[in-house]
C-alpha cells in the first residue's frame, strides 16, 4: 500500500529541513554576502550571489542527529586578467576578506578545493563558491587543488531539475530527499555524492515513461517506486562504473566524484531498496505494509493510528490510502 498521507507527514516532520532552519540559512548567507561586499579589496569584484546545490534544487534535508546541515552559494566575481594563470587566487581572496572581518575572521574560515567554508558552532556550515564568466565565454568555478578552472552551468542544472520535477508531477525532489534520507540517516550507499544521486534519479524520469504508464509519478510512493525500480534496471545492466555527464550540458562529468567500489556498493544497495519498496508498495494488509515501510525508513515513518483494531485500520486505509491499481504489473 502507498500510505500517501504517511509519506506527506514523514517528509514534513522528519526528512525536510524545517522552514526555521531555512530562514536561518538565508539570513546567515545574506550577512556573509554583505560582509564580502563591504570588504575594500574583494567588494568591487562582486557581481552577485546565487544558491547552489541542494539548497538551489530544493533537495536539502535535515542532518543526522546533531550533525551540521550545509548549503552552498555561488559568489559571482569579475574576472581579473592578472590572475589568469592562478585561478586559486579567487578562493584566496574570498578567504582573505572573511579573515579580515571582525566576526567571520574569528570563525576560522577554511579554504577547500572549490570553496571557502564558514562553520557555525553546532548548527551548520556555508560553502562560498567563486563563480565567473570568463572573457573567452566559459562559465567556471575554481579548483584550488589543481589551480585550474572547472566548467559549470548551474542555471542549466537547475532548469534540468525543474523540467524533470515537472514531468514527475512535482515528486522528483521529494524522491531525492527520501533517498538522501536513506543514505544519511540509515547509512545506506555511503560515499555516493548528492550531485550523482540527484542526477541518476532525475535521468530516470522521462516523458515516455509518464505516457506509457499514466499515474506512475502521481504521488510520492508511486514516484519513488517508479524511479528507484527504473534506476535499479539501469544499474544492473552496468556492472562497471558508468560515466555520469553533467545534465546541464556543461560538458563536464561527475566521474571523479566516486570510485568503482563506491559504485558497486551503491548498485547493490539500490537493488535491495527497489525490492523493499516494491514489497511495501504491493502489500495489501495496511499493518504489514506500514511495517515494511518502517523497516526501510525507520521508526520515524508514521505508524497507522488504531492498529490494534482491524476495523479502524480498514477505515483508515479506505480513507487515506491508494491501491496499486495505478501501475498494474509494471516491473520497471
Residues 109 and 256 in one domain: no
- CA atoms within 13 Å, Cβ hemisphere of 24: 13
* Cell numbers found for residue 72: 552552498
Residues 258 and 132 in one domain: no
Q: pLDDT per residue over 287-323, tens digit each?
A: 999 999 999 999 999 998 755 333 333 333 333 334 3
Q: If pLDDT is split at 50, 70 and 90, which confidence band does 251 have?
A: confident
* Cell numbers found for residue 193: 555524492
Q: Is residue 5 part of a domain?
A: no
DSSP state of 160: H
- For the chain, the straight-line distance linking the first and the last C-alpha, in angstroms and rounded, comes to 18
Query: In which domain, by residue range, is 203 found?
Result: 157-326
Q: Is residue 38 part of a domain?
A: yes
The per-residue pLDDT of the chain, averaged, comes to: 91
Contact 258, 193 (CB under 8 A): yes
Percentage of residues in the chain having pLDDT higher than 90: 85
Q: Where are the beta strands (DSSP E) in the chain?
A: 46-52, 69-77, 110-111, 116-120, 124-133, 139-143, 148-151
Residue 131 φ then ψ, to 5°: -140, 135
Residues 197 and 282 in one domain: yes
Q: What is the pLDDT of residue 305?
A: 76
Domain harbouring 46, CATH code: 3.30.460.90
Residues 147 and 171 in one domain: no
Contact 99, 109 (CB under 8 A): yes
Q: What is the pLDDT of residue 330?
A: 53
Q: Where are the beta strands (DSSP E) in 95-193?
A: 110-111, 116-120, 124-133, 139-143, 148-151
Residues 127 and 255 in one domain: no
Flag whether pLDDT at 142 surpasses 70: yes
Q: What is the pLDDT of residue 71?
A: 85
Specify the number of domains making up the chain: 2
Alpha carbons 22 and 49: distance in angstroms, whole number = 17
Which of 152, 178, 210 represents a domain boundary (last residue)? Answer: 152
Determine the average pLDDT of the residues in 109-118.
97
Q: Is residue 101 part of a domain?
A: yes
Q: What is the pTM of this model?
A: 0.88
Cβ neighbours of 323 (radius 10 Å): 10
Amino acid at each position: 500500500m502507498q500510505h500517501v498521507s504517511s509519506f506527506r507527514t514523514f517528509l514534513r516532520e522528519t526528512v525536510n529541513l524545517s522552514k526555521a532552519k531555512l530562514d536561518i540559512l538565508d539570513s546567515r548567507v545574506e550577512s556573509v554576502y554583505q560582509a564580502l561586499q563591504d570588504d575594500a579589496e574583494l567588494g568591487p569584484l562582486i557581481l552577485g550571489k546565487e544558491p547552489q546545490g541542494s539548497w538551489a534544487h530544493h533537495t536539502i534535508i535535515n542532518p543526522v542527529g546533531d550533525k551540521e546541515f550545509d548549503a552552498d552559494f555561488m559568489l559571482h566575481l569579475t574576472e581579473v586578467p592578472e590572475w589568469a594563470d592562478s585561478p586559486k587566487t579567487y578562493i584566496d581572496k574570498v578567504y582573505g576578506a572573511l579573515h579580515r572581518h571582525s566576526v567571520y575572521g574569528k570563525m576560522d574560515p577554511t579554504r577547500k578545493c572549490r570553496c571557502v567554508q564558514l562553520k557555525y558552532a553546532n548548527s551548520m556550515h556555508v560553502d562560498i563558491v567563486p563563480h565567473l564568466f570568463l572573457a573567452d565565454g566559459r562559465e567556471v568555478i575554481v579548483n584550488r587543488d589543481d589551480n585550474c578552472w572547472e566548467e559549470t552551468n548551474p542555471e542549466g542544472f537547475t532548469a534540468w531539475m525543474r523540467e524533470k520535477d515537472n514531468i514527475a508531477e512535482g515528486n522528483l525532489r521529494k524522491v531525492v530527499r527520501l533517498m538522501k534520507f536513506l543514505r544519511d540517516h540509515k547509512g545506506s550507499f555511503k560515499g555516493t555524492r548528492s550531485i550523482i544521486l540527484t542526477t541518476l534519479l532525475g535521468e530516470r524520469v522521462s516523458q515516455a515513461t509518464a505516457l506509457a504508464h499514466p499515474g506512475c509519478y502521481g504521488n510520492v510512493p508511486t514516484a519513488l517506486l517508479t524511479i528507484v525500480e527504473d534506476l535499479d534496471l539501469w544499474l544492473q545492466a552496468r556492472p562497471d562504473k558508468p560515466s555520469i555527464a553533467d545534465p546541464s550540458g556543461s560538458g563536464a562529468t561527475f566521474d571523479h566524484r566516486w570510485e568503482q567500489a563506491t559504485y558497486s556498493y551503491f548498485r547493490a544497495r539500490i537493488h535491495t531498496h527497489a525490492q523493499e519498496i516494491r514489497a511495501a508498495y504491493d502489500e495489501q494488509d495496511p499493518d504489514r505494509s506500514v511495517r515494511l515501510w518502517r523497516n526501510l525508513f525507520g521508526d520515524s515513518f508514521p505508524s497507522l493510528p488504531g492498529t490494534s483494531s482491524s476495523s479502524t485500520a480498514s477505515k483508515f486505509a479506505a480513507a487515506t490510502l491508494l491501491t496499486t491499481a495505478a501501475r498494474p504489473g509494471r516491473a520497471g
